[in-house]
Structure 1
Amino acid sequence: MELESVPGVGAKTADALSQIDDAERALQEGDVAALARAPGISDGRAARIARAAIRERHDDPGDFLATSRTREIYQEALSLLETRTVTDDAAARLETLYPSAAESRIREVREFTEEALKRDPGPDVLDALEGVKPLSTPSDVRVRDRCLATSDAERYAQAKEAIPEVSVEVVDDTRQVAELARSYATVIVLDEQFAGVDVEGDVRVEPDALDNPAEVVPERALAFFAANRQPLQAAVAVHRAADLDPACDLDTLEDALEKLAADGTPRGDDELDRLVTAVDDLDAAVATAESVANDHLREAIEERDVTIEGTDLLSLVERGAGVDSLLSRELADEYDAAIEAAREHLIDALRLEDTEAIARRTFPEEPTYPVEHTEEVVSRLREELTTARDRRATRLKRDLASDLADLREDAASLVDAALELDMELAVARFAADFDCTLPGVGSIEGADDRAAGEGVAIEGGRSPLLDVSFAEVEPIDYHVDGVALLSGVNSGGKTSTLDLIALVVVLAHMGLPVPADAARVQRIDECHYYAKTQGTLDAGAFEATIRDFGDLVTGVAADRETLVLVDELESITEPGASANIIAGILEALHERGATAVFVSHLAGEIRDVSSVGLAVDGIEAVGLEDGELIVDRSPVKGKLARSTPELIVEKLAEDGDGFYHRLLEKFES
């Protein structure tokens, strides 16, 4: 997929997206988190780009949500789904689900939903998901103990780009290579002309080094896995808890991660641990060994009486001899024992092996008091230990990096599968929390749209958008086919019925389950929902509203299926004029073959002035109890619902005088 072929992605955005790993895959899969890692791309922008890519793939014009209220319903539905994710990334990925008129897109998401509904969001899985997040690529890896060297300018530029973690040096001859070898633990020469070079130090001639960056900089792979240890371990736990089919052997990945320390260095190797400890503890061990020798000598001197004949003393003084000579003459054995004790302590404390001979030279044979180490020997010992440590670490890094590099793609797949599972579980939890079912949608089930049934049919539908506990929501049944007026008492549930219709239609066209025992919707191209206006509009606003409906009516093409939901349009102007206007709009929608539900308190008046036979459905109040309406929330087909005032007058007429009967007759006439 060409990046700039996605609507809304220009050259600047395409350049930003090209800086992330596998941008085309991210677009194809709607990986919002990956897209958001591009420079300057926010989460919201990433979601819009992902949706645009999906629409482009399905040839979807993307104009299903035709009004602000319809978009609000979509956002509320999306919020219900997002709150049921565990990870932020899964919530972001849900942003790629949107209502579509394209059958291929609806079918694609329905297949995802069918799999999601088989999932069991058990507590172990949800707990494991807590630690999963998208993998990151460390950008601060820098290796200072080795360098690349070349005499070719073009190769130099290639090396700088391919392996930016290490220094790249220009060399003209063997002398310069030797100088580098004194400054770096390892020098990797890229030019074959230097093959067979004989210089001191670790110098390798590897013309193909740029083709194997993991060999040159194993730290790259190690840093990646060290930085992502926790999400990878969490992804492994998710696969085990959910019994997912993993992309790689989980034990192998876990074992490799266990060999890696948090700072990206190998761990668990006894020899490396020994060398690291020896380098770190060298100075302290030397100081302690000196103390061992001096303590040994002090005790020997304190325990012995050294007698020197006068002539011997004069002879020593005449020769300028000092305490060293005295030690050599009188305490030679004790001094040798003290030095041996110091050497043994140093070797044992540092667990020295190959460098034991150097360590023994740390303390001189010639008697001195106090005993002091030879700094040149200690420096040599430190150099040998450090070199051994670094070589051991480098070898282990390469071995471990080689193992992990082979697992990198599979590791990314593990995390992606875990995040995909979080999306699926969100859908499963949504369906379980709101007693959802997968609805029929037009020809998606293999039948022609018209043959499959027009309009919207809902059985046992309950809206989760109400400001009450879902358990308290009364289920409703309603089927609308063509154009209908919905009448009913105040607070009877007319608006919530419109909301439920809109929600079912939006979710169905997202490919998701709907909150109903059963539902079927005709596949539509546009959903228009106009919420109730607040108060009568002034002339300018009234004109703008009428223009909106004019555009809607004239814009409904014969080959585009449209759903129109309107809540109490009569509030825009005087009741008499409203009835005429609404009747005219409904007549035009009827002629166009649209599906429409208009909620109105003027249903009777609108029906009377309409030139076509308009269906009038009613939400019936079946009585009053303690001043509260008792309402059957399911609209009754072909029934003009009685108003609240009529119900109150009827109740008064039951026990009252003729005045109330006279009032009741006015309603019935």
Structure 2
Amino acid sequence: MELEAIPGVGEKTARALRALDDPEATVESGDVAAIARAPGVNEARAARVARGAIRKRHDDAGRVLATDRSREVYRDALGLLTERAVTDYAEKRLETFYPSGSGSRIAEAQAFAADAMDYDPDPTVLDALAGVEPLTDPATVRVRDRCLATADAERYAEAEAAVPELSVETVEDARDIAELARSYATVIVLDESFAGMDVEGDVHVRPDALETPAETVPERLLAFFAENRDRLEAAIGVHEAAGIAADAPADLDRLRDALARLDDDGTIVGDAELTRLTDAVDDLDAAVSTAESVADDRLREAIRERDVTIEGTDFLSLVEQGARVDSLLDRELADEYDAAMASARDHLVDALELEPDEAELAGRVFGGDPSFPVDHDETAVSRLETELAAARDRRAARLKAELADDLGDLREPVEALVRDALELDVELAVARFARDFDCVLPEVVGPDEDGTAEGGETAGFRIEGGRSPLLDVEFAEVDPVDYAVSGTTLLSGVNSGGKTSTLDLVALVVVLAQMGMPVPAESATVERFEEIHYYAKSQGTLDAGAFEATLRDFGDLVEGADGRLVLVDELESITEPGASAKIIAGILEALDGQDATAVFVSHLAREIREAADFDIAVDGIEAEGLVDGELRVNRSPKKGHLARSTPELIVEKLAGDRESDFYGTLLEKF
């Protein structure tokens, strides 16, 4: 798929999308999180790109939502779905479902919804989903104990671009490499021409180093897993809570074990030897200082107890005042001094848990000319620290390489693991919506050329037991509505009888059906409309300019209205009742000559029918009467019935309650 061919994708967005590993496949997948990883593309933009790709794939260039009110109904429908999503990803992913005029797209979305409706929205799974987010790429990690080396200028530029985590050094000969080996724990030489050289230090000649980044710089992979640890653990929890761990794209036990070996900053944890070396480097200075104190205390005690020419306490006073003591210690306390040095060395070895070869280096820290207080050899300390740090870095590098090797083949599976968890949230949102509002998947049929639906069904819509979740009452208290319309129809009824809410229900069911989503009804059949035109009730009579603009809208509407659903709520409010009846009759006449489905709510049904030159179908929401001043209404429109108005019901009630010819005479006028 050519990126610029996707609706809504311009040159700038296409350029950003091409930064993805496989831009066409990623966009085709509809994975909002993956698309959002393109530079400068947020999730909202990614959802629009995914929606555009869906339109392109199904050759769905039309715009079903043709009026502001129909778009409001779509936003309401989408809101009912998204508020049942746990993750931000699911909210954006649900935005890729839109009212479509494409049969293939609706079938695709219905297949998704049908699978989703089989899920049981377990609260444990919903709780686990709260921690799942799309995986992110960490910032570049700088690794300072390792470098790349090359004598080739082009290779140098290639290395800098491919492995920004490592320093890249230029070399001319083995002497340059040997110099680098004294500054870095590990040197990786990229040029095969240096193979076989004998250089002291941890030097590797690896011409393929740039092609094997997991081995060259395992920190990159480890940083990814460390950065996404919480997301991965949450995704593991979702699969386990949902009972789908066995089908997970990654081995969950293996992944959890690998994550346990990794700290939040990408360092290795749980290795006793690495911990020992790290602690030894960190604690070296403190251990040397404590070892000096151990030796000083031992010498101080020996001096106090030693029988020399002058009393020990006087001798100690002289020493502490800075008198030269090397010859005195060597002559009088040689054995005690050696024992003090041995105790200092033993303390250093024990405190740092040094191995025999390391202990040999530690032995050089305390020696030399006798002194009091005891002093250490700074050069020997520096050498010991260098050796310990190098051993630590080599150990860490080996462990990182091993862990990166273990995690390397999990990189793609964990992407799928998190994606599956996020997609499960999308499905559960649909399942929760369907359960909360007693929904069913509708039958969506495409109109044939003769205006009937495929299979001989009547075009239009049929709703049985429909209940609108958009009403300001508890859903359980909403009265079910049965209604079906084919062709053009007037809907009459009493004030507050439910005419507008019936239009809202029809619009909601049709919008959801063409989104491929379940609808709040016991059953429903909906024609696949090319456009949905829903006009809300006008607020008051329009002035001349607004009136003319409204007529222009309806003039455009009746031009080529095949395959459209037209819902209009009390159009008579735009002007005087007499003129309104004539205008509505004219509009209905134009629509009747085309394959359009239209429902016009009006209090002027009788007048419109009289003004029209064809037999207009009239349905009515019939009030059963007044009970304690309140209307009792059958909310399902009655076919072929002109409903009585509220004033007629009130006059009828008064005529029955009171013995007066006045009310009877009034009633006869209705």
Aligned mates of 2:668, 2:455 — CA distance in 1: 44
Verify the 8 A CA contact 2:625 2:649 in the aligned structure 1.
yes
Aligned partners of 1:451 and 1:157: how far apart in 2?
70
Question: Is 1:431 paired with 2:434?
Answer: yes
Name the stretch that deviates more: 236-245 or 411-420: 236-245
Instruction: Note the C-alpha offset of 1:322.
Output: 4.3
2:290 corresponds to which of 288, 291, 299:
288
Q: 2 CA distance for matches of 1:26 and 1:529?
A: 36
Give the alignment of 1:207-286 within 5 angstroms: 207-244=207-244, 245-286=247-288
Using the TM superposition, give the Cα deviation of residue 526 of structure 1 relative to its aligned residue in structure 2, in angstroms: 1.3
- Tell me if structure 2 keeps the 8 A contact 1:188–1:203: yes
The Cα offsets for residues 449-478 of structure 1, whole Å up to 9 and x where unpaired, read as 251332111111110111222122111111
Deviation, 1:448, is 5.7
| C-alpha distance in structure 2 between counterparts of 1:579 and 1:322, whole Å | 123
**Any idea what SS the aligned residue of 1:307 has?**
coil
Distance in 2, matches of 1:355 and 1:142, equals 29
Are 2:66 and 1:63 equivalent residues in the alignment?
no
Paired positions, count: 652
Shift of 1:182: 2.9
Contact 1:247 1:410 in 2 (8 A): yes
Determine the structure 2 residue equivalent to 1:499.
504
Query: Which TM-score applies when normalising by structure 2?
Result: 0.94
Query: Aligned pair in 2 of structure 1 residues 122, 607: CA closer, same or farther (>3 Å)?
Result: same
Deviations 1:539-588 (A, max 9, x none): 2211211111111111224xxx2111111111111111111111111111
Secondary structure (helix, strand or coil) at the match of 2:409 reads: helix
Match of 1:316 in 2: none
Once the two structures are superposed, the pairs formed by residues 162-561 of structure 1 within 5 Å of their partners are 162-244=162-244, 245-307=247-309, 322-353=324-355, 354-364=357-367, 366-442=369-445, 449=454, 451-557=456-562, 561=563
* Whole-angstrom distance in 2 between the partners of 1:453 and 1:241: 46
* Aligned amino acid, residue 547 of structure 1: R
> Contact between 1:487 and 1:600, CA under 8 Å: does it hold in 2?
yes
User: For structure 1, which segment, 580-589 or 13-22, has the greater mean C-alpha deviation from structure 2 after superposition?
Assistant: 13-22
DSSP-derived class of the 1:616 partner: strand
1:449–1:523 CA contact under 8 A, matched in 2: no
Residue 142 of structure 1, CA deviation:
1.6
Give the C-alpha shift of residue 203 in structure 1. Answer: 2.0
Secondary structure of 1:265's partner?
coil
The residue that corresponds to 1:318 in the other structure is none
Q: 1:425: how far off? A: 0.3
Shift of 1:171: 2.3
1:555 partner SS: coil
Secondary structure of the residue aligned to 1:387 is helix
User: Residue 653 of structure 1 is aligned with which of 644, 652, 655?
Assistant: 655
Partner of residue 607, structure 1: 609
Deviation at 1:197, TM superposition (A): 2.4
CA contact (8 A) 1:587 1:612 kept: yes
Could you tell me the TM-score, scaled by structure 1's length?
0.95
Give the CA deviation at 1:264: 0.4
> Would the aligned equivalents of 2:140 and 2:164 in 1 still touch at CA under 8 Å?
no
Which one is further off, 362-371 or 100-109? 362-371
Q: Match of 1:352, SS? A: coil
Cα distance, 1:59 vs. partner? 0.6
Asked whether the equivalents of residues 142 and 165 of structure 2 are also in contact (C-alpha less than 8 Å), the reply is yes
Distance 1:292 1:269 in 2: 31
Is 1:622 matched with 2:624?
A: yes
C-alpha contact (below 8 Å) 1:188/1:204 kept by paired residues:
yes
**CA deviation string 1:404-451 (max 9, x = no partner):** 12101000000000000000000000011111111111169xx96251
Shift of 1:324: 2.5
- The letter of the residue matching 1:610 is A
Counterpart AA for 1:551: D
Mark the runs of 5 or more structure 2 residues left unpaired by the alignment.
316-322
Identical residues among aligned pairs (%): 68
Amino acid at match of 1:299: E
Cα separation, 1, equivalents of 2:179 and 2:326: 43
**Cα distance in 1 between the residues matched to 2:335 and 2:385:** 30
The more displaced of 620-629 and 123-132 is 620-629
Kindly provide the amino acid, as one letter, of the partner of residue 19 in structure 1.
A
Match of 2:84 in 1: 84
CA contact (8 A) 1:192 1:205 kept: yes
Measure, in 1, the Cα distance between the counterparts of 2:583 and 2:663: 34
4+ long deviations beyond 6 Å:
none
Distance 1:665 1:587, change over 3 A: same
Cα distance in 1, alignment partners of residues 299 and 115 from structure 2: 81
Deviation at 1:663, TM superposition (A): 0.9
**How far apart, in 1, do the equivalents of 2:551 and 2:455 lie?**
31
SS in structure 2 of the partner of residue 149 of structure 1: strand
Between 471-480 and 274-283, report the one with greater CA deviation: 471-480
Counterpart of 1:592 in 2: which secondary structure?
Answer: coil
Alignment of 1:577-592 (within 5 A): 577-592=579-594
Gaps of 5+ in 1: 314-320
CA deviations over 1:179-235 (Å, ceiling 9, x no partner) = 332332222111111112233322221111111011111110000000000000000
**Is structure 2 residue 627 aligned with structure 1 residue 632?**
no
2:111 paired with 1:111: yes
Give the whole-Å Cα distance in 2 for the aligned partners of 1:44 and 1:644. Answer: 48
8 A contact 1:442–1:453 mirrored in 2? no
Deviation at 1:266, TM superposition (A): 1.0
Deviation at 1:75, TM superposition (A): 0.6
Q: Distance in 1 between matches of 2:40 and 2:259?
A: 33
| 1:287-320 deviation digits (Å, cap 9, x = unpaired) | 11111111111122223332369xxx9xxxxxxx
- CA-CA distance at 1:34 after TM superposition: 3.0
- Kept after mapping to 1: 8 A contact 2:453/2:459: no
Deviation at 1:595, TM superposition (A): 0.8
Is contact 1:489-1:620 (8 Å) kept? Answer: yes
Q: Find the aligned partners of 1:158 and 1:62 in 2 and give their Cα distance.
A: 48
Amino acid at match of 2:601: V
Matched, 1:136 2:136: yes
**Matched letter for residue 530 of structure 1:** Y
Q: CA-to-partner distance for each residue in 1:83-125, whole Å, 9 max, x for gaps?
A: 1011001111111011111111111111111110111111110
The residue type paired with residue 234 of structure 1 is A
Deviation at 1:256, TM superposition (A): 0.6
Superposed counterparts of 1:39-54, under 5 Å: 39-54=39-54
CA contact (8 A) 1:19 1:38 kept: yes
Letter in 2 for 1:208: D
Match of 1:146 in 2: 146
Determine the C-alpha separation between the residues in 2 that align with 1:104 and 1:303.
101
**2:43 touches 2:89 (CA, 8 Å); kept in 1?**
no
- Go from structure 1 to structure 2 and tell me whether the alpha carbon gap of 1:251 and 1:229 turns closer, same or farther (over 3 Å shift): same
Amino acid at match of 1:261: D
SS in 2 for 1:596: strand
Task: Tell me which of 657, 661, 665 is aligned to 1:662.
Answer: 665
Matches of 1:29 and 1:570, distance apart in 2: 48
CA distance in structure 1 between the aligned counterparts of 2:291 and 2:141, rounded to whole angstroms? 39
SS of residue in 2 equivalent to 1:260: coil
Partner of 2:33: 33
